[in-house]
Amino acid sequence: MADEGALVDERIEKLLSGFGPDTDPKEFWGRQYDLGLAWVHFKEGFGGLGVKPKYQSVVQDRLEAAGAPVGNRELNLLGIGMGAGVLSAHGTEEQQRRWLRPMFTTDEIWCQLFSEPGAGSDLAGLSTKAYRDGDEWIVNGEKIWTTLAHVAKWGMLPVRTDPDAPKHRGITYFIVDMKAEGVDVRPLYQITGEAEFNEVFFGDVRIPDDQRIDAVGAGWRVAMTTLMNERVAIGGKILPRESGAIGIAVETWQEYGLDDPVLRDELARLWAETEAMRLTTIRAAEMRKVGVPGPEGSTGKLAWADLNKAITAFTLDMMGWDGTLFPGGYQKVRPTSIGDPKARQKQFLRARANSIEGGTSEILRNILGERVLGLPGEPRVDKDIPWKDVRRG
């Protein structure tokens, strides 16, 4: 244990000794990867040191304190936050060697091609198909809600390879080149007027078999690993006290010089609930340091979604008539990174998606009930019949 800590410390020193105000962030991230400080629990030579995952937070804290660049996780959230975990758990060494470093340096942005128009919460119901043609697979279908698809180089793509198998068993998982012929990315404008997401169409797209992750038909397992990582990446972030939506609410209270007992009571209620949730994410992170991501991530995401919606709505209430304005108007733009919108009205609108994206709150409640509390599952009508016979729409 002491050895592990000392090793991490030594590598951090080494990384920071080469860091100056002129350091190019991408070069810095490359060195961070080479020194095994990208994902410390990964193998040596693959961005890690083979030490306990808890040391990653030591690395992050030290780099942030030193003013070193840490923005790559945000720029390539789906790659670094989710794709890396997938490659580490299910990829071959060759696949890890090929993809992990450029992912970490943000030279290659990743996206996640899960949702389909006919399969949102019911991920295993997906219809995008692939069939084998020699050393390649040919993909046809349509994905939706793909964040950053318009800037991504690689996409994580579960597809149906066996329509005759029950739906969870006929899926295979690929990494697809988003610049390949036949991949058509179109902006999907949302409630805020912006196109943070995309629709992605696949028309006879060829994927080499060496870009298949895990076995043919094992895609569901890989997808689950992705989602576990996603819920942690979305809901598990530990923020300082009074930051995020509640921080903005408190600022709004001050900015408007409010002194209303009813508003005060509501603000204090939301503040307390946010802090309790924050402390839960800290507790969940402590658990995670000793093992793999568990269901704690689901409570975080569920609670955060509800609170974020409540707080952003309440913030407009505190603004009175100003809440009816929309500074800047609705702009049809395509953001290239995942960031929080600035205007409070836009935050109110964006928050509507929190209880839908990355697993709806209804699905998460089922997961908590069934997997954490051990309650009996919903009756299933679609489990043991061939996918092609399941009713969809």
Partner 1 sequence: MLRETTRRFLEDRADSMVVRDLMEKPDGYDSELWKAGAELGWHGLAIPEEYGGIGFGFTELSIVVEELGRALFPGPFLSTVVMAANAILIAGSEQQKQEFLPDIAAGERIMTMALFDGPHGADPSDVAMRATATKEGWVLDGLKRYVAYGNVADTLIVAARTESGVSLFLVPGDAAGLRVSIVPTLDATRRETDVSFDQVVAQGLLGREGSAGPVIERILLLANVALAVEQVGGAQWCLETAVEYAKTRFQFGRAIGSFQAIKHKCADMLVAVEHGKSAAHWAARNADDEAETRIASPMAKAVCSDAYVGAAGETIQILGGTGFTWEHDVHLYLKRAKSTSLMFGGVRHQRRLLAKALGF
Site membership for partner 1, residue 352 (CB under 8 A): yes
We find the least distance from the C-beta atom of residue 176 to partner 1, in angstroms, to be 21
Catalytic member of 10, 230, 266, 370? 230
Question: Which is nearest to 102 in space by CA: 151, 52, 33, 51?
Answer: 33
First to last CA, the chain: 53
Binding to partner 1, residues 192-251 (CB under 8 A): 193
Q: Indicate if 64 belongs to the active site.
A: no
Binding letters toward partner 1, positions 59-98, x by CB under 8 A: ----------------------------------------
Site membership for partner 1, residue 382 (CB under 8 A): yes
Binding letters toward partner 1, positions 246-285, x by CB under 8 A: ----------x---x-xx----------------------
Element (DSSP H or E) covering residue 343: none
CA dist 59 and 100 (Å) reads 18
Question: Which is nearest to 233 in space by CA: 242, 225, 245, 244?
Answer: 225
Q: Which residues, 6+ apart, have CB-to-CB distance to 86 below 8 Å?
A: 156, 173, 213, 222, 225, 226, 229
Site membership for partner 1, residue 127 (CB under 8 A): no
Binding to partner 1, residues 139-158 (CB under 8 A): 144-145
Burial category of 352 from C-beta neighbours within 10 Å (exposed 0-12, middle 13-18, buried 19 and up): middle
Encoding tokens for residue 112?
Answer: 């996640």
Size of the site for partner 1 (CB under 8 A): 55
Pairing of strands 110-112, 154-160: parallel
Report CA torsion sign: 87, 88, 93, 99.
positive
Of 14-22, 65-73, 176-184, 344-352, which part binds partner 1 (CB under 8 A)? 344-352
We find the least distance from the C-beta atom of residue 295 to partner 1, in angstroms, to be 18
Among 73, 142, 208, 326, binds partner 1 (CB under 8 A): 326
Say if CB 238 and CB 281 are below 8 A apart.
yes
Among 345, 347, 358, 367, binds partner 1 (CB under 8 A): 345
CA dist 4 and 66 (Å) reads 21
Encoding tokens for residue 115?
Answer: 């949702």
Active-site amino acid positions: 230
Summarize as ranges the residues that interact with partner 1 (CB under 8 A).
115, 118-122, 125, 144-145, 188-191, 193, 256, 260, 262-263, 309, 313, 316-317, 319-330, 345, 348-349, 352-353, 355-357, 360-362, 365-366, 378, 380-382, 390-393
